[in-house]
Amino acid sequence: MRLILLFIVVIGPFLSGTSLAFESPVDTKATLWMRTGWDLSHDRTLEDRASEREIATLELFWPGKGPFFGKVSLRFDRLSFHDNSEQETDYWVWETYLGLQTNNWEVRVGKQFVRWGKADEISLLDNVNPQDLRQLMYLRLEERKRPSFLILCRRYLGNFTLEALFSPTDEAHERDHFGTDWANFDHLKEAIARNPQVPATLKAWGAGLSAQEEDYGWSLRRSEWGVKLSGTVAQIDFGLSYLEAHSRSPYPFVKYFPIKGFRLTSPTAPLADLLSQMASISISGQTILIGRPRNRFLGFEFETTRGDYGLRGEFLYQTDRVLLREDLTGIRKPSWGYILGVDRTWPGGLYLNLQFLQQRILAWSEGILFEPKLDSSIFFRLSWPALEDRLETRLDASYGLTTRMWYLNPEIIYQVRDNIHLFLGFHFIDGPSDTFLDLYDNNDDFYVGLKVIL
Question: What pLDDT, in 10s, does the model give residues 324-335?
Answer: 999 999 999 999
Q: For residue 37, give the nearest of 451, 444, 452, 416 by alpha carbon.
A: 444
pLDDT of residue 3: 39
Residue 230 CB partners (closer than 8 Å, separation 6+): 160, 161, 163, 237, 238, 239, 240
Q: What is the pLDDT of residue 218?
A: 76
Does 188 map to a domain? Answer: yes
Of residues 206 and 7, more confidence is placed in 206
Sequence-distant (6+) residues with CB within 8 A of 312 are 118, 119, 301, 302, 303, 304, 339, 340, 341, 342, 343
Query: In DSSP terms, which residues pair with 99 in a beta bridge?
Result: 69, 108
For the ranges 177-181, 375-379, 436-440, the one whose mean pLDDT is highest: 375-379
Tell me: the pLDDT tens digits for 376-399? 999 999 999 999 999 999 999 999
Task: Give me the mean pLDDT over the 147-169 stretch.
Answer: 96
Contact 76, 67 (CB under 8 A): no
- Determine the residue type at 391: L
Q: Is the pLDDT of residue 441 over 80?
A: yes
Tell me, yes or no, whether 17 lies in a domain: no
**What is the model's pLDDT at position 7?**
40
Instruction: Give the pLDDT of residue 445.
Output: 95
Percentage of residues of the chain with pLDDT beyond 90: 83
With b for 16 or more beta-carbon neighbours within 10 A and e for fewer, the 217-253 pattern comes to: eeeeebebebebebeeeeeebbbebebebbbbbbbbb
* Residue at 20 is within a domain: no
Q: Answer whether residue 6 is part of any domain.
A: no
For residue 25, the model assigns a pLDDT of 81
Report CA-CA distances (Å) from 248 to 130, 372, 384.
7, 19, 33
Backbone phi and psi for residue 10, each to the nearest 5 degrees, phi listed first: -80, -45
Flag whether 11 is in a domain.
no
pLDDT of residue 85: 64
Q: Region 293-298: what's the mean pLDDT? A: 97
- Supply the pLDDT for residue 420: 97
Q: How confident is the model at residue 222 (pLDDT cuts 50, 70, 90)?
A: confident
Query: What's phi and psi for 392, nearest 5 deg?
Result: -125, 130
pLDDT for 65: 75
Percentage of the chain beyond pLDDT 70 is: 94
State residue 298's pLDDT score: 99
The lowest-confidence range among 220-224, 256-260, 423-427 is 220-224
Q: What is the mean pLDDT of the chain?
A: 92
Is pLDDT at 12 greater than 70 in this prediction? no
Domain that holds residue 301: 25-453
DSSP letter at 132? B
Q: Is the pLDDT of residue 368 over 80?
A: yes
Note whether 135 and 184 are within 8 A (CB): no
Distance separating the N- and C-terminal Cα atoms of the chain:
18
Answer yes or no: is pLDDT of 171 > 90: no
Domain membership of residue 172 (yes or no) is yes
Contacts of 399 by beta carbon, 8 Å cutoff, 6+ apart: 377, 378, 380, 405, 406
Q: What is the number of domains present in the chain?
A: 1
Quote the CA–CA distance of 332 and 86 in Å, as a whole number. 32
Going edge to edge, which strands form the sheet with 210-213?
210-213, 287-291, 253-256
CB 227 within 8 A of CB 164: yes
Check residue 5 and give its pLDDT: 47
Low-confidence winner among 17-21, 95-99, 312-316, 368-372 (lowest mean pLDDT): 17-21
In a domain, 367, yes or no: yes
pLDDT per residue over 14-39, tens digit each? 444 444 433 458 899 999 999 999 99
Which of the four pLDDT bands, split at 50, 70 and 90, describes residue 337?
very high
Q: Give pLDDT tens digits for 39-70.
A: 998 777 788 899 999 999 999 999 877 799 99
Q: Taking 80 as the threshold, does the pLDDT of residue 217 lie above it?
A: no
Instruction: Please check whether residue 390 lies inside any domain of the structure.
Output: yes
According to the model, what pLDDT value does residue 188 have? 92
Q: Which helix (H) or strand (E) holds 10?
A: helix 2-11
The CATH number given to whatever domain includes residue 284 is: 2.40.160.10
